[in-house]
């Protein structure tokens, strides 16, 4: 089997991964600006061919929604080329199917995004957001698998990663994905901040969610952007999001410490684990800032993007650790 690195294929996969990450950011901006329905038609935009919408209409929320559509089309095109390239040039059969999976996923993602607009189903936005995270992990994995480092690593001596350590990373990564699902559900309630203060919640460790309390919260909210009234469910959901965030942070901190203990401080996977910890620290700060800035769109979107990176790093760590262990066996 010819496993010679193909730099052009690798850099193309990297380009696709970067574009996908930016697309998640732009999608985050669409939701942060409550602009998902600002262009009511799809695949046309205001009745125009999507690629020919006059620039004078790229204003307000429509700017975010329309540019999101254009970048999504670009990612769709890049992924299609990548899938064909992998099929034709990569000697590994499983990589052919990984390319096909990426193609099908980007297709599904585009249709979901379109249906969210055409069917006016806000709940589809949650799936759209969740699949975006999975797609990012997939295209970054493809970039990893086509890299020179990956293709040459079986020639080097590998140190196995203990099973307990791998399991720990895997569970924390799964928890991050669950947290992203909770976050997507929160964001697609279109109700703004259900709890406006942090670290307390309505001045308490656990907020009152009685009917009277919820009515009072709504009375005192002056929604700038016409957010829906908040409900007890949304208040509890944000509290769950906070608790899961603390759990993840502790889980990642423990992961980094365990990696240093089991693999040594100089190991690349240990360093990677500490990058993960740094990212989670930043993510907690951004989560707090999202509340302190009353959900400023740019801060909330950065919170989405760092969340996506946290899932990505956890996933790639697990993949690399599994491969190292297999090669060491």
Min dist CB 304 to other proteins, Å, is 17
Nearest to other proteins of 44, 247 (CB atom): 44
Of 88 and 224, the one with the shorter C-beta distance to other proteins is 224
CA Rg, the chain, in Å? 22
Which token pair is 216?
């009072």
Closest separation in Å from C-beta 112 to other proteins: 17
**Among residues 32 and 147, whose Cβ is nearest to other proteins?**
32
Residue 40 or residue 114: which is nearer to other proteins going by CB? 40
Among 10, 306, 307, 318, which Cα is nearest to 152's? 10
Q: Which is nearer to other proteins, 41 or 197 (CB)?
A: 41
Nearer to other proteins, 121 or 243 (CB): 121
The minimum distance between CB 238 and other proteins, in angstroms, equals 21
Q: Name the minimum Å distance from CB 320 to other proteins.
A: 42
Q: Rounded to the nearest whole angstrom, what is the least distance from the CB of residue 212 to other proteins in the complex?
A: 8
Nearest to 180 by CA among 113, 133, 242, 123: 133
CA pseudo-torsion sign 110, 112, 116, 118:
positive
d(C-alpha 184, C-alpha 31), whole Å: 10
Q: Which is nearer to other proteins, 120 or 163 (CB)?
A: 120
Please, what is the minimum distance in Å from the beta carbon of residue 230 to other proteins? 12
| Distant-in-sequence contacts of 41-50, Cβ < 8 A, 24+ apart | 41/117, 41/118, 42/69, 42/113, 42/114, 42/117, 42/118, 43/114, 45/69
Tokens (6 digits) for 73: 């089309």
Cβ neighbors of 149 (< 8 A, separation 6 or more) are none
Torsion sign, CA atoms 72, 29, 310, 233: negative
User: What is the binding site for other proteins (CB under 8 A)?
Assistant: 33-41, 46-47, 57, 59-62, 65, 120, 215-216, 218-226, 228
Helix 297-328 vs helix 163-187: angle between axes, to the nearest 10 degrees? Answer: 160
What's CA 214's distance to the chain center, in Å? Answer: 31
What does the block give as tokens for 293?
């800035």
Q: How far is CA 190 from CA 18, 194, 232, in A?
A: 28, 10, 15
Give the residue with the Cβ less far from other proteins, 74 or 218: 218
């Amino acid at each position: 089997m010819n496993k010679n690195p193909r730099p052009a294929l690798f850099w193309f996969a990297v380009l696709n991964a970067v574009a996908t990450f930016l697309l998640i950011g732009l999608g985050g901006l669409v939701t942060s600006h409550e602009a998902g329905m600002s262009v009511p038609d799809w695949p046309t935009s205001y009745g125009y061919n999507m690629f020919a919408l006059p620039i004078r209409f790229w204003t307000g929320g429509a700017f975010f929604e329309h540019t999101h559509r254009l970048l999504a089309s670009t990612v769709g095109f890049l992924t299609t080329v990548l899938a064909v390239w992998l099929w034709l040039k990569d000697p590994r059969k499983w990589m052919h199917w990984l390319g096909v999976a990426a193609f099908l996923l980007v297709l599904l993602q585009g249709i979901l995004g379109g249906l969210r607009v055409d069917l006016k189903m806000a709940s589809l936005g949650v799936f759209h957001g969740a699949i975006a995270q999975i797609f990012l992990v997939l295209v970054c994995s493809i970039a990893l698998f086509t890299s020179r480092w990956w293709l040459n690593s079986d020639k080097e001596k590998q140190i196995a990663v203990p099973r307990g350590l791998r399991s720990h990373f895997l569970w924390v990564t799964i928890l991050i994905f669950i947290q992203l699902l909770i976050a997507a559900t929160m964001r697609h309630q279109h109700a703004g901040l259900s709890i406006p203060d942090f670290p307390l919640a309505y001045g308490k460790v656990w907020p009152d969610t009685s009917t009277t309390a919820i009515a009072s919260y709504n009375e005192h909210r002056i929604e700038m952007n016409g957010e829906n009234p908040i409900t007890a469910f949304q208040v509890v959901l944000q509290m769950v999001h906070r608790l899961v965030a603390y759990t993840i942070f502790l889980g990642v901190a423990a992961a980094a410490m365990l990696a240093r203990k089991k693999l040594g401080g100089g190991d690349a996977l240990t360093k990677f684990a500490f990058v993960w910890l740094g990212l989670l620290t930043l993510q907690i700060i951004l989560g707090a800032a999202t509340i302190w800035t009353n959900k400023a769109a740019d801060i909330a979107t950065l919170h989405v993007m760092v969340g996506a990176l946290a899932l990505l790093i956890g996933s790639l760590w697990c993949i690399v650790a599994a491969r190292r262990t297999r090669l060491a066996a």
